[in-house]
Amino acid sequence: MTIEQQGRLYLVGVGPGDPELMTFKAIKVLEASPVWIAPKAQKNGSSSALQIAAGLVSVDDKEVLELHFPMKKVHLNQQADAELVNSWKDAADHVLKHLNNGIDVAFPTLGDPALYSTAFYLLAAIEEQCESIKVTIVPGITAMAACSAKIGNPLGLGDDVVTIVPAAFDDDRLRDILNTFDAVVLMKVYKKMARVVELLDEMGLTDKAVLIERCGLPDQQIYTDIRTAVGKDLHYFSTLLIRKKQVVM
């Protein structure tokens, strides 16, 4: 089969939870794709990205496959965990099967595909097997953008230098980052709050931080006093925004 006859893969950002935050383009692409392959974090759970997408686009006429991608840390430039690599390869096989039958596949993914998303691991696994495929990336609204909007505080303003951190860092690296940058977005912070609050307290930054849990969803929680979040069983959809500086008039 020539590349022209192949189906197209769409990596579709569906935003952080509220289906109304999907872009018009995401909706159009999802509507037009006969096959959806959606990632899920728990073997017996369901795909959050699929739930968001299905909030506005009917799946009645779709072939939908939810695939499990284990939640394991990836250290770039190091050999990735074998179970994780297998899940990427398995998903790549499923996608390629459809593309090679001339069928378009949509891969809905939480937030934006470019930010800590399985979508790019999948793409890398596909490109290992098949040198060239037709792929379109549809950007989505990131969780941090939605969280910033929800609390009415910008991510960066003026000369703020902003950094984004998956909260899996050891304390020293996080301390350096908090010292260096004016604004910090901490993602995947749900199991790390005790450690993070301790560090922020020590650095006098606790009052500059707001935690947003399940932003835009019916059970959303905003912690303006982040100490009250310590000891809570926070959802994985939790983001901590820290901004040190203020506008001076």
Ligand X SMILES: C[S@@+](CC[C@H](N)C(=O)[O-])C[C@H]1O[C@@H](n2cnc3c(N)ncnc32)[C@H](O)[C@@H]1O
Residues that bind ligand X (CB under 6 A): 16-17, 110-112, 115-117, 142-143, 147, 187-188, 212, 214-217, 236-239
φ, ψ for residue 101 (rounded to 5)?
-95, 10
Output 29 or 99, the one with its CB closest to ligand X: 29
The CB-of-144 to ligand X minimum distance in angstroms stands at 6
Least separation in angstroms between CB 217 and ligand X: 6
Choice between 18 and 160, CB closer to ligand X: 18
| Pick 7 or 16: Cβ nearer ligand X | 16
Q: Find where tokens 């849990």 sit.
A: 213
Amino acid (1-letter code) at residue 171? D
Give least dist CB 145 to ligand X, A.
Answer: 8
CB-nearer residue toward ligand X: 169 or 236: 236
| Number of other CB atoms surrounding residue 86 within 10 Å | 12
Least distance from ligand X to the Cβ atom of residue 118, Å:
8
Contact 9, 97 (CB under 8 A): no
Task: Provide the minimum distance between the beta carbon of 3 and ligand X in the complex, in angstroms, as a whole number.
Answer: 28
C-beta of 139 vs 227, nearer to ligand X? 139
- Closest to ligand X by CB, 215 or 229: 215
From the CB of 39, what's the least distance to ligand X, in Å? 10
Cα–Cα dist 167/211, whole Å: 13
CA distance 173 to 166: 12
**CA angle centred on 233, ends 231 and 235, rounded to 5°:** 135
Residue 94 in tokens: 């499923």
Report how far residue 218's alpha carbon sits from residue 225's, in angstroms, rounded to the nearest whole number. Answer: 21
Residue number, 41 or 85, with CB nearest to ligand X? 41
Residue 160 zone, left/alpha/beta (φ > 0; ψ -120 to 50; rest): beta
Position with the least CB separation from ligand X: 111
Residues 186-219 as b or e (16 or more Cβ within 10 Å = b): bbbbbebbeebbebbeeeebbebbbbbbbbbbee
We find the least distance from the C-beta atom of residue 21 to ligand X, in angstroms, to be: 9
Give the chain's largest Cα–Cα span.
64
